Each structure stands twice: as C-alpha cells, then as structure tokens.
C-alpha cells in the first residue's frame, strides 16, 4: 500500500462542514442516510494508537460532537460510529444516523440491503448542519 496514493490526503472526502488544524468534518452523500458525516484526520495516519494522547482525545471530542449534532438535528433511532480503514488506510470515523426502517437496518450500511428503499426524511439545510457543528465544536477552532 505504500506505493498507492491516499484519496483522503489528495481530496477533501466530501463537502467540508467544519475543519480545524487536526481534522475536518465532511458530509457524505449517501442516499437514504441524511446527516451521514465523516471525521477525517488531516495528517496521513493509519491507526488511532499512532496519535499522541492529546490528539486522540481531541479527535474523539470531534467525533462525539458530530454524533451529538446528528442526534439533535436528525433524530435517528441509533447512531453508528465506525473507524475501519481497510480500503482507505487513513484515519477517519464514520458517523452514521440509522433508522429502524432504513434500507439496511439492523445490518451495517455496507451490507446487502434488506429493503428496496429508505423512507424520505425531512431535509435539513446544510447551513443548519454547519452552524450546529460550529456551535458544538467551536467557531474559534474552525478554519472552514
């Protein structure tokens, strides 16, 4: 994998909603999963244990802050947090709102769907999500 280019080093990974020197929060365009966000470390690091304690704690505060905002705005039945990196070995966390009637529930969204489609959910303007993230995570640290 050392010869491969890292997509998360070369691209933002989605529409940037909030960013600090440590990481960025991006919107994931996944139909049926409004509010799906990804928290991406800005440096190319493969594992959480490669980070120093302070950076690990700061990163997890962002992940938990995004989860808090997603729960508040989207009112999902459950939120899945996942850090896999098998395909893209660059440290990132998925924050995925889940509903009992979504296409894949109760399985992970990467599994085969159990239903043809998810119900349409009310749209939340991206600006509202950006503002909620800024309020939760801090505007002073935001560089986006």
In a structure prediction context, what are the per-residue pLDDT tens digits for the chain, which is 144 residues long? 444 689 999 999 999 999 999 999 999 999 899 999 999 999 999 999 999 999 999 999 999 999 999 999 999 999 999 999 888 899 999 999 999 999 999 999 999 999 988 888 888 999 999 999 999 999 767 765
pTM of the model: 0.92
CA atoms within 13 A on the CB side of 71: 12
Q: How far apart are CA 23 and CA 61, in angstroms?
A: 11
Q: How far apart are CA 18 and CA 131, in angstroms?
A: 9
Burial (CB count within 10 angstroms: exposed 0-12, middle 13-18, buried 19+), residue 90? middle
Under DSSP, the state recorded for 106 is T
The domains located in the chain, with CATH, are: 7-137 (3.30.428.10)
């Amino acid at each position: 994998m050392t010869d491969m280019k890292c997509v998360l080093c070369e691209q933002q990974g989605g529409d940037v909603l909030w960013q600090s020197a440590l990481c960025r929060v991006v919107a994931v365009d996944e139909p049926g999963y409004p509010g799906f966000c990804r928290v991406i470390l800005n440096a190319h690091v493969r594992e959480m244990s490669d980070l120093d304690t302070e950076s690990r704690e700061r990163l997890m505060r962002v992940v938990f802050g995004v989860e808090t905002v997603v729960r508040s705005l989207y009112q999902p039945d459950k939120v899945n947090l996942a850090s896999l990196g098998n395909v893209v070995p660059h440290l990132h966390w998925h924050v995925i709102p889940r509903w009992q009637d979504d296409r894949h529930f109760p399985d992970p969204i990467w599994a085969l769907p159990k239903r043809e489609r998810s119900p349409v959910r009310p749209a939340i303007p991206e600006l509202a999500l950006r503002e909620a993230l800024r309020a939760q995570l801090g505007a002073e640290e935001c560089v986006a």
